[in-house]
Amino acid sequence: MIELYSCKLPASRENAGMDNLLVHVSKERQSRLKRFVKTDDAYRSLLGDLLVRFALKERYGSMDRELRIQMNEYGKPFLCDYPSFHYNISHSGEYVVCVVHDEAVGVDIEYIGPFDLPLAKELFTKEEYQYVLNDREGGLGAFYDIWTLKESYVKAVGEGLSMPLQGFSMKKCSNGSIQITDMETERQIRDYICRQYTIDNHYCLSVCAHHANADQFRNEPTCVTFQDVCESLNVHS
């Protein structure tokens, strides 16, 4: 199954409150997190790491004390000791999300705010851009539909910025499915599948998974609280 976990940031976010949680990430990560200027940014990044641990415990019942994380050649992280555990993290505003699959997977969440229409014209395919223009509600939701779908696919493929966003097209079909098309060959990309979820009307959330089918996606994400995450690590929030 493709598991999607979502968690809101705690209402109280202070630097002192992170101390008990930092022991659950590597010394390198601790150092990087302490360099964040904004406390909220540090909490988002740390909570992403902790959600991975939460997901590991949910799937395997236990986990190694210190996770060995490496990066592929494009910078996508993976766990050396869990070759069948593929994950991806995204965060925006008040939410942090983590998706888990047996194969490559990607997720993107975005707060629905003002967007730059010329940017959409530059980065989207002609069909995608027209989809935004034709949106009856001003294009806001349509823009983030396409943006998060494209980002989730790029993150699933794991090639980062080396993959041009105009090299593939996303189309929302009338039956609810998402069609991915390679713009160079004009052929459908069938070994990846996308799904969208709603966890908050002010956010857009998309997931993309490799070698999966629609039945492997759960109908709803697993919403966990910050306290749930802390308790799974035996930490008092």
Q: What is the CATH number of the domain that holds 173?
A: 3.90.470.20
Dist. CA 223–CA 217, nearest whole Å = 15
pLDDT at 63: 66
CA angle 58, 62, 230 (to 5 degrees): 65
SS3 letters for 115-173? CCHHHHHHHCCHHHHHHHHCCCCCCHHHHHHHHHHHHHHHHHHCCHHHCCHHHEEEEEC
Has residue 31 been placed in a domain? yes
pLDDT at 165: 96
Has residue 127 been placed in a domain? yes
pLDDT at 122: 94
Alpha helix segments (H runs only) across the chain? 19-22, 27-34, 39-60, 117-123, 126-133, 140-157, 226-232
Residue-range definition of the domain harbouring residue 45: 3-232
pLDDT at 171: 97
**pLDDT, tens digit (0-9, with 9 covering 90-100), for 92-136:** 999 999 999 999 999 999 999 998 899 999 999 999 999 999 998
For 51, the token pair is 């959600």
Has residue 237 been placed in a domain? no
Dist. CA 201–CA 161, nearest whole Å = 29
pLDDT at 235: 58
> What is the mean pLDDT, run by run of 10 residues, along the chain of 237 residues?
96 73 82 86 92 92 75 86 94 97 97 92 96 88 96 94 93 93 97 97 97 94 93 69
Has residue 43 been placed in a domain? yes
Domain count, the chain: 1
Which 3 state secondary structure label does DSSP give 226? helix
pLDDT at 74: 82
Has residue 42 been placed in a domain? yes
Q: In what order do the strands lie in the sheet with 222-224?
A: 86-92, 95-101, 3-8, 222-224
pLDDT at 13: 79
For 218, the token pair is 């759960």
Has residue 63 been placed in a domain? yes
Has residue 90 been placed in a domain? yes
pLDDT at 174: 87
CA nearest to 196, candidates 142, 123, 233, 235? 142
Has residue 122 been placed in a domain? yes
